[in-house]
Structure 1
Amino acid sequence: MAGLTMQNVTKAFGNFQAVSDVSLEVKDGEFLAVLGPSGCGKTTMLRIVAGFENVTSGSVRIGNETVLGSGVNVPPERRRVGIVFQNYALWPHMTVAENVGYALKVAKVDRVSRDKRIADALALVDLTGFGDRRPANLSGGQRQRVALARCLVSTPSLVLFDEPLANLDVHLRAAMEDEFARFHERTGTTIVYITHDQAEAMALADRIAVMDHGRLAQIAPPRELYREPANEMVASFISQGIVLPAAVLTAEDAGHARVEVLGQQLVARCRPGERPRGNARLCCRSDDIELVASGGDGIEGTIGRAVYKGGSARVEFSATAAPDLAIHFEQRDPVTVSAGDKVSIRIASGWVIPAEGAAAR
């Protein structure tokens, strides 16, 4: 296996920068998910690593070998990079074994070695005995595993996944998440996993890189990304975070500060070194917001709507002091509020988003 290093990579199409000054390092054996909204540069970045796109500037190294940059551009077939596509890309006229072993056949690997490597690859994805079947006779999840076996048979040093579960139904996606997790645990393969599905990324990845308009907004383990977003984009994008204007009043200790939000004061988490400032932003989650009992102090406002989701409702709230802010919270059964109700809420906790330009820990 091998790690991946991208250094100041930029890819422009005319005046449009699809990838802009991206630097990251994926450790040997690490599972990195690349997450972001449509058009943020995820797939372009994957194509650069695979060798399907050149760069405007910057360099790419796989293991100890520079494959792109400084006059070097190693062709895709020599990068030892495996790719699992969203649409599987299986040949319907070939059997499973023929699909898996096609690259070995083209490389003129002898029949005995080829058959053994095909059998080993199918065993890795739990498809032993399926070699004689055609793709049309397989389920969506099985086809995805054939695509994975075809990738593994060439013993790649790095595996790229391009939204591999996007075409599967919810049940199959959950099953394949387990398959990918077991595969990574068994093989220790270095994986870069492109996805727009946050739950998928959180469940699978050691770290997540969030892309925004071609730039790397933050790279961190899932829990840190959720609890400590580095900027407003990440805060609002991850799990529909609620970003509210706040004033930092005092630093309570080396990880908490007293803040004021919409007239309410609370102690929120923050980076060490946070100082009093009036133009701060607080990220909170729906679980951080609670209804205040009738007559209690809180942030006054009106319920916009309550959407029942089975067991709970997503409640949208408009604060009287700032009606344009998007605030929502969950209320479990029994759901007691409805559109038009006048209520008060309280923010129990949150994260002070670091000031622009503040040094990361």
Structure 2
Amino acid sequence: MAGLTIANVTKTFGDYDAVKDVSLDVRDGEFLAVLGPSGCGKTTLLRLVAGFEKISSGQIRIGSDVVSDASGSVPPEKRRVGIVFQNYALWPHMTVAENVGYSLKVAKVDKAVARQRVADALSLVNLDGLADRRPANLSGGQRQRVALARCLVAAPSLVLFDEPLANLDVHLRASMEDEFAAFHKRTGTTIVYITHDQAEAMALADRIAVMDHGRLAQLAAPRDLYREPANEMVASFIAQGIVLPARVLSAEQEGHVRVEVLGHEVVVRCRPGELPRADAKICIRSPDLEIAGKGEAGFDATVTRAIYKGGAVRVELSPTLQPDLHLHVERQEPGSFEPGSQIRLKIMSGWLIPNGKPA
């Protein structure tokens, strides 16, 4: 296997930068998810790594080999990169074994060797005994595993996934997440996994790269991404974070500051070295908001909508001091949340969004 290095890569279409000055270092054996909204550049980045598009500037290395730079580009078939597509791309007239072994046939690998490699690849993805079936006789999850086996049989140094679960229903997605996690643990393959689904990325990846308008917004472990977003875009994008204007009043103990937000003072987490400032913003999550008890400090808000979600209610609110802001809380217990009713809320915790570029 091999790691992946993307150094200051830009891809321009006409006067539009689909990918802009992106640098990533994917460690050997790492599972990296690339996450972002539609149009953020994540699929273009995958196509650049695969060799389907040529970079406009920068450099891409797989292991120690330069595969793309200003002087040229190594063809996709010579990069030893495996790709698992969203739509499987299986030949319907071929059996499972024939689909998986097609690249070996083209490469004129000895038939006995090819049969063994196909059998090994099918075993890796738990498809033993299905070699003679046609794709039409398989479930969606099984077809996805055939596509994965076809990728693995060529012994790639790097595997790219292009939103592989997007076409599966909910219960199959959960099952395939388990399959991908088990596969990565068994093989130690270096994986770059393109997705728009945050739950997938959080469940599977060692680290997540969040992209925004062609740029890398943040690269971090899932927990750090959730708890310590580097900027306002990441804060609001990840797990529907709530971004609120705040004033930093003072530094408290290391890694914490006292802020005023919506007329309510609260201590929130921060990067070391933060100083008092007026133009700050904090990120809070739904669990950070609680209904204030009688006499407790907090701020008033108006219920705008209550949505039943099966065992819980999502309550959407507008704070009285700034009605243009939108808050939401999840409530497990029954209660009356009629639109127009008033609730007093308190902020229990949060994160001070760093001022300027991420460190």
Give the TM interval when normalised to the shorter protein. Answer: over 0.9
**What residue in structure 2 maps to residue 11 of structure 1?**
11
What letter matches 1:166 in structure 2? A
After the TM superposition, which of the residue ranges 69-78 and 205-214 deviates more from structure 2? 69-78
1-side partners of 2:296 and 2:304: how far apart?
Answer: 21
**What residue in structure 2 maps to residue 249 of structure 1?**
249
What letter matches 1:78 in structure 2? K
1:22 corresponds to 2:37: no
**What residue in structure 1 maps to residue 347 of structure 2?**
347
SS, match of residue 113 in structure 1: helix
Residues 246-293 of structure 1 show CA distances to partners (whole Å, capped at 9, x for unaligned) of: 011111022000011010001100000000000000000000001123
After the TM superposition, which of the residue ranges 69-78 and 177-186 deviates more from structure 2? 69-78
Residues 15-70 of structure 1 show CA distances to partners (whole Å, capped at 9, x for unaligned) of: 11100000010000000000000000000000000000001101100000000004
Instruction: Note the residue ranges of structure 1 that are not aligned, 5 or more in a row.
Output: none
Contact 2:104 2:154 in 1 (8 A): yes
Alignment of 1:45-64 (within 5 A): 45-64=45-64
2-side partners of 1:42 and 1:296: how far apart?
Answer: 46
1:321 corresponds to 2:321: yes
**What residue in structure 2 maps to residue 79 of structure 1?**
79
1-side partners of 2:302 and 2:266: how far apart?
Answer: 22
What letter matches 1:235 in structure 2? A
2-side partners of 1:176 and 1:301: how far apart?
Answer: 42
2-side partners of 1:107 and 1:189: how far apart?
Answer: 22
Residues 102-136 of structure 1 show CA distances to partners (whole Å, capped at 9, x for unaligned) of: 00000000100100000000000000111100000
1:100 corresponds to 2:100: yes
Contact 2:56 2:70 in 1 (8 A): no
SS, match of residue 325 in structure 1: coil
**What residue in structure 2 maps to residue 224 of structure 1?**
224
What letter matches 1:304 in structure 2? T
Alignment of 1:74-223 (within 5 A): 74-223=74-223
SS, match of residue 179 in structure 2: helix
2-side partners of 1:355 and 1:295: how far apart?
Answer: 34
Cα distance, 1:177 vs. partner?
Answer: 0.1
**What residue in structure 2 maps to residue 285 of structure 1?**
285
SS, match of residue 66 in structure 2: strand
Contact 1:10 1:19 in 2 (8 A): yes
1-side partners of 2:164 and 2:110: how far apart?
Answer: 31
Residues 141-183 of structure 1 show CA distances to partners (whole Å, capped at 9, x for unaligned) of: 0000000000000000000000000000000000000000000
SS, match of residue 336 in structure 2: coil
Cα distance, 1:295 vs. partner?
Answer: 5.1
2-side partners of 1:354 and 1:297: how far apart?
Answer: 26
1:268 corresponds to 2:275: no
The size of the alignment, in residue pairs, is 359
2-side partners of 1:343 and 1:32: how far apart?
Answer: 42
Cα distance, 1:294 vs. partner?
Answer: 4.5
Identity of aligned residues (%): 70
1:2 corresponds to 2:2: yes
Cα distance, 1:332 vs. partner?
Answer: 1.0
What letter matches 2:222 in structure 1? P
SS, match of residue 8 in structure 1: strand
Contact 1:66 1:72 in 2 (8 A): no
**Structure 1 runs of 4+ with >6 Å offset:** none
Cα distance, 1:334 vs. partner?
Answer: 1.2
**What residue in structure 1 maps to residue 34 of structure 2?**
34
SS, match of residue 254 in structure 1: coil
2-side partners of 1:336 and 1:177: how far apart?
Answer: 38
SS, match of residue 330 in structure 1: strand
2-side partners of 1:96 and 1:297: how far apart?
Answer: 64
Cα distance, 1:216 vs. partner?
Answer: 0.2
SS, match of residue 323 in structure 2: strand
Contact 1:49 1:60 in 2 (8 A): yes
Cα distance, 1:298 vs. partner?
Answer: 1.6
SS, match of residue 104 in structure 2: helix
SS, match of residue 314 in structure 1: strand
TM-score by length of 1: 0.98
The CA RMSD measured in Å over matched residues stands at: 0.8
What letter matches 2:159 in structure 1? V
What letter matches 2:322 in structure 1? A
After the TM superposition, which of the residue ranges 325-334 and 18-27 deviates more from structure 2? 325-334
TM-score by length of 2: 0.99
**What residue in structure 2 maps to residue 331 of structure 1?**
331
1-side partners of 2:301 and 2:51: how far apart?
Answer: 54
Contact 1:313 1:335 in 2 (8 A): no
Contact 2:6 2:25 in 1 (8 A): yes
Cα distance, 1:340 vs. partner?
Answer: 1.0
Contact 1:312 1:335 in 2 (8 A): no
